[in-house]
Structure 1
């Protein structure tokens, strides 16, 4: 049994109010989960994890619990897990997340000695059930999501807390500033806080965090996405002789640009093939309708189809296969840049010497794209410029420069791993 912490952190009015109301989450939780199940937002085989019921046994030994909310954030943790495991090969790891898509993708990319669970809803009895089972020796929270009940519950049991890879936009800070007292009380419980950039660090300090370090993005040092070797051979055979490019993690604005570009390229040369991978595979029906309207014949991956010579598009409407598509493609349009999204992670493509193109809205990844631009390793596009950019003879050199950046960053997580392991309970 974990002993209570000796030095309880402050609990002001905002946090007290949240904790007093949090038992209501357990009252509403079953109804909320049923509705999400009906909409396909929860995994029916694992939905009990959202109420703290574990679906896996706790391994023996010291356990590091890492939490991130969604797909990109979870995948970014893999490099940090690897860095800690290299320093202590006996460590065990638990990764939690909230989104169903994150579980589907991380399952194909889990590092050794690592298992995944969903974080329970933030009700006291759900959190207690989770902590009773897993008994973590360190709790690491990533990016920007903090669940007050889980943070307070872990801290009260003496579990050291760290916040890493924190990212906070101006808009995110403005929302949190309205509850500054609550965030100040939560952040006081963390023994280590690191941010991706100076802007995020400044926002955290303004919310009451002390000792914030700027360490850059974990995404840069994450290992390459995995790919099933049998599936890789199959998809390579399916596209032999084609000029393949991928539109990755797309939203409607990205897809509109990609379809216009592919229509022009394919009608001039039918060897061109677009692999279109929506960010949310649940939107595949709408994307398929848009392809039909654009008169672009396509094969749909989720139906087991491969593109014929007459297909212009392969609709990659599955989760966990981006490692396949980046291995096929010469060039990638990274999604989120032609919508009010803020862009998506460019580093996953860089590992495979895939040239990186993106739209103008990259606010969520400004430092990352800034680093790529400084090395002439990515190209920002205006609307309508994609078809021309895909034929730029300078793309292979740009792709090699991006790959050099990620390869140099591979060992950059050692200092952070050392600092985290210094917190682990003996």
Structure 2
């Protein structure tokens, strides 16, 4: 397997040997702030929290919540293709671990990725002994990539996404990326733009396979919570603002004040810690709000569902969803979670982070772009005809995973 050839990569690997000097203290400080799980933070030191299952194991890594959830469709398809294979998913954030635990695909377990120090990675790889290492989107840890390749474990990069701004940030480090990409046996991009950028950074034979988010299975929902919440909502028309930011909330709340009778607006903030802030804003507009995190039910104009891991519940209960991040600089969030659960998709004009996804939905008449001016009418319109088209696109994406699955199983010798 190719050895590190660039001075920058060699320098990084030398510097990474010092990570253990600071890592335990840093992780303990994060633990004190609630940013790490008390019973699992030592996984980031390479200490396994679970036993290794028997048989071949595919290790997949994604950085955060959305990227981790997007891997589920690929895992399901690989599990069907290779019935004897087990799966390990790693990520780095607490939220990704907690939500993924409620949405585990078959034969799958989760661990935190160790910090990028040689000793931590050695412990991790000695324990898990993967047959294949699959990295998703943009998150590559140089030490982990080099250590994995040095053991002869095949590497793949899937669902890669890189817009012009991300490419510009990485271009100065192109020699490092070229060193890393030389270790990958398969590199798959979401779109042609990403493929061009990866090639310019030194990747070879980049294939375009589309986005994995569209192929992800529906998010789960706790049956007891579903049974308790549905009657509490009654017959009121329900609108979900999903993964919201302040700019989205301002537009939705302004539209809500203009409507009579008012639908019930459920606001699921991207950061649930903002629930109190949102409640104050609602009240300044003369509307009433309740918060799920405080045990309050949907008795006001707005129900702030400020909890983690319940998006599958809200999409099931709301016939219409407005995708957050599309009225401000966040530039959108994943629309496919709503599509998979039959909630009609509305979105604002700012979708740069998911341009291809929203374009695909729009071309099929499966989503409706709105502005602050057109939103009030859209909130009172029946969008049932869009739902079937969006669901069909999700199903087609899942069926389209076969070529990538075949390539990955062949790379690992798991056919």
Q: TM-score range by the shorter chain?
A: over 0.9
Instruction: Report deviation, 1:396.
Output: 1.5
In the alignment, is the contact (CA less than 8 A) between 1:160 and 1:425 conserved in 2?
no
Q: CA 1:293–1:28 in 2, change beyond 3 Å: closer, same or farther?
A: farther
Instruction: Report deviation, 1:54.
Output: 1.4
What residue number does 2:336 align with? Answer: 347
Tell me the C-alpha RMSD between the 2 structures.
1.4
Q: Is 1:419 matched with 2:407?
A: yes
Deviations 1:72-125 (A, max 9, x none): 111110000011110111110001111111111111100111001111111111
What residue number does 1:37 align with? Answer: 31
In the alignment, is the contact (CA less than 8 A) between 2:4 and 2:10 conserved in 1?
no
The 2-side partners of 1:338 and 1:32 are apart by: 36
Deviations 1:166-186 (A, max 9, x none): 000111101110101000000
What residue number does 1:103 align with? Answer: 97
Q: 2:293 aligns with which of 302, 308, 313?
A: 302
The 1-side partners of 2:275 and 2:3 are apart by: 47
Deviations 1:9-49 (A, max 9, x none): 44211101111111222222123223322332222221111
Deviations 1:268-308 (A, max 9, x none): 114x1111101121222322222232333222112222112
In the alignment, is the contact (CA less than 8 A) between 2:279 and 2:290 conserved in 1?
no
The 2-side partners of 1:36 and 1:174 are apart by: 31
Q: Is 1:161 matched with 2:173?
A: no
How do 1:23-422 residues align onto structure 2 when only pairs under 5 Å count?
Answer: 23-265=17-259, 268-270=260-262, 272-308=263-299, 311-393=300-382, 395-422=383-410
How many residues were matched structurally?
414
Deviations 1:112-165 (A, max 9, x none): 110011111111111111111111110000011100011111111111100000
Deviations 1:45-82 (A, max 9, x none): 21111111111111111110000011111111000001
What residue number does 1:3 align with? Answer: none
In the alignment, is the contact (CA less than 8 A) between 1:257 and 1:384 conserved in 2?
no
In the alignment, is the contact (CA less than 8 A) between 1:94 and 1:115 conserved in 2?
yes
Q: TM-score, normalised by structure 1?
A: 0.94
Q: CA 1:293–1:36 in 2, change beyond 3 Å: closer, same or farther?
A: farther
- Structure 2 residue runs of 5 or longer lacking an equivalent are none
The 2-side partners of 1:46 and 1:327 are apart by: 31
Stretch of structure 1 that moved more, 28-37 or 194-203: 28-37
In the alignment, is the contact (CA less than 8 A) between 1:9 and 1:188 conserved in 2?
no
In the alignment, is the contact (CA less than 8 A) between 1:155 and 1:189 conserved in 2?
yes
Q: CA 1:211–1:227 in 2, change beyond 3 Å: closer, same or farther?
A: same
1:249 is paired with a residue whose SS is: strand
